[in-house]
Amino acid sequence: MNRWMAFLCGLNFAVGLCIAGMTQPGKITGFLDFAGNWDPSLLFVMAGAILVYSVGFRMAVKMPKPLFENEFQIPPVRSVDKKLVFGSILFGAGWGLAGFCPGPGIVSLVSLRPEPFLFVISMVAGMWIFEKTQTR
């Protein structure tokens, strides 16, 4: 695992999010407001990202191994389960409620405004609750 590559991925990802407007919660809630003044931005963000990744993914996994690891760690094909369904429903409710998801929430911390801090601290708390309540 190359740490500096991870750093570069984070940096590249954050710049993309900012340019795409995704650090602005109003863009997210605007996209989710299908019955109101709908903002299609997120659709174009998804289109750009999925276009690059769907082509790139298929080419990348043909390599014998990634550049800095011995093997690819691609999630195995699994069936849909209750955890996936309930988790995604809870996630969506929170996403619509504030207009932040994990990446943009963290990137927005650099604005030093209170809302991203409140969001990220409670998001980490939510993740921590999950870790503590999980039955292994």
Partner 1 sequence: MSEFITPFYGGVLIGAAALLMLLANGRILGVSGIVGGILNSSTRNQSWRFYFVVGLLAGGVLESFGNPSVFAFTISRSWVAIVVAGLLVGYGARLGNGCTSGHGICGVSRLSRRSTLATILFIATGAAVVFVINHLLGGQI
Residues numbered 73 to 112 that lie near partner 1 (CB under 8 A) are 73-75, 77-80, 83-103, 105-111
Alpha-carbon torsion 116, 119, 121, 124, what sign? negative
| Shortest separation between residue 113's beta carbon and partner 1, angstroms | 7
Query: Does the footprint of partner 1 cover residue 3 (CB under 8 A)?
Result: yes
Residues 19-48 that bind partner 1 (CB under 8 A): 19-26, 28-29, 32-36, 40-42, 44-48
| Shortest separation between residue 39's beta carbon and partner 1, angstroms | 9
- Contact of 47 with 53, CB cutoff 8 Å: no
CA–CA distance, 20 with 43 (Å, rounded to integer): 11
CA–CA distance, 87 with 85 (Å, rounded to integer): 6
Residues 54-73 that bind partner 1 (CB under 8 A): 54, 56-57, 60-61, 63, 65-69, 71-73
CA–CA distance, 124 with 67 (Å, rounded to integer): 31
